[in-house]
Amino acid sequence: MNPVLHKIVETKHEEILQGRGKSLPPRKIPVRPWESHLKTNSISVIAECKKGSPSSGILRPDYHPVEIASIYESSGAAAISVLTDSQYFFGSLSDLTSVAEAVEIPVIRKDFILDPLQIDEAYAFGASAILLIVRILSPKDLTSLHQHAKGLGLSVLVETHNKNEVKTALDSGATTIGINTRDLDTFEIHKNLIEDIASELDSSIIRVAESGIESYADWQKYKGIVDSMLVGTYFMKSKNIAKDFQSLLFGN
């Protein structure tokens, strides 16, 4: 685990300790179906709301997640990912709630989840799905957290970075597997990873391409290989999200 990722995980453990015993708000919206939105006749889009990241810094100084999410929904996004980490990605749980209440498509809490408390938070603040990252979890914890989320009726996107992690994800019961082309140890993008891994997954698995997607050519490249693409930085750098959303899907 590289120093940045290690520091993020340390911070998460501190946040979990601080959150123990705090009451959570009652959930206000229904849990929305995830699988039926992602698995369609084409490649669906999970569009991401994130102000910045450790590798890129501030991506969108004028960041209004509800406004962005509304554009995503009207543009045809199947689901919305909301970064809730505050220290490294400049997000919050209030962003999650605001977006979940503003749209009618499923919203996933994207964070570094290590403990059932964070899943309980995701549920309380309106998420319909959560992200679990194989790289930062033991197989036992991955399975336990996956079962905890399912027990609340939440869907789970399990993120992987190589074939060994995919096997671990499948063993945990994962039915939606993300293939992240950004190596969390080096932050480098390995685009061929999608083709190498997705083609070996059973068609019953929802396959999600993550990171480095920024053009119509990428969209075309992944047709027939994945079911969905998670796109964040491309949109966050856009001056016209609605226009660039259509360009991603249909070309210029």
Which two three-digit tokens encode residue 244? 């660039």
Is 50 labeled as catalytic in the residue annotation? Answer: yes
H/E stretch holding 69 reads helix 65-75
Is 41 labeled as catalytic in the residue annotation? Answer: no
Q: Which of 75, 81, 172, 211 is catalytic?
A: 211
Ordered by where they begin, the domains of the chain are 3-16+30-250 (3.20.20.70)
In Å, how far from its chain's centre is CA 88? 16
Alpha-carbon distance of 17 to 111, in angstroms, equals: 16
**What pLDDT does residue 55 have?**
80
Q: Which of 12, 159, 165, 172 is catalytic?
A: 159
Average pLDDT over the chain reads: 93
- Determine contact, residues 184/135, Cβ cutoff 8 Å: yes
Q: What is the pLDDT of residues 3-62, one digit of tens each?
A: 888 999 999 999 999 999 899 999 999 999 999 899 888 899 999 999 998 888 999 999
- Among left, alpha and beta (phi > 0; psi -120 to 50; other), residue 133 is beta
Q: Which of 15, 121, 165, 210 is catalytic?
A: 210
Per DSSP, the residues of 86-127 read: STTT---HHHHHHHHHH-SS-EEEES---SHHHHHHHHHTT-
Tell me 186's DSSP state: T
Reported as half-sphere exposure (CB side, CA atoms, 13 A), residue 239 has a value of: 0
Is 92 labeled as catalytic in the residue annotation? Answer: no
Q: Which of 12, 15, 50, 98 is catalytic?
A: 50
**What pLDDT does residue 238 have?**
95
pLDDT at 247 over 70: yes
* Confidence bin at 186 (pLDDT 50/70/90): low
Alpha-carbon distance of 65 to 187, in angstroms, equals: 25
Is 104 labeled as catalytic in the residue annotation? Answer: no
Q: Which of 110, 121, 128, 165 is catalytic?
A: 110
Q: Whole-model pTM above 0.85?
A: yes
Is 48 labeled as catalytic in the residue annotation? Answer: yes
Is 211 labeled as catalytic in the residue annotation? Answer: yes
Alpha-carbon distance of 1 to 9, in angstroms, equals: 10
**What pLDDT does residue 184 have?**
67
Q: Which of 12, 15, 48, 155 is catalytic?
A: 48
75 three-state secondary structure: helix
Q: Which of 155, 172, 180, 228 is catalytic?
A: 180
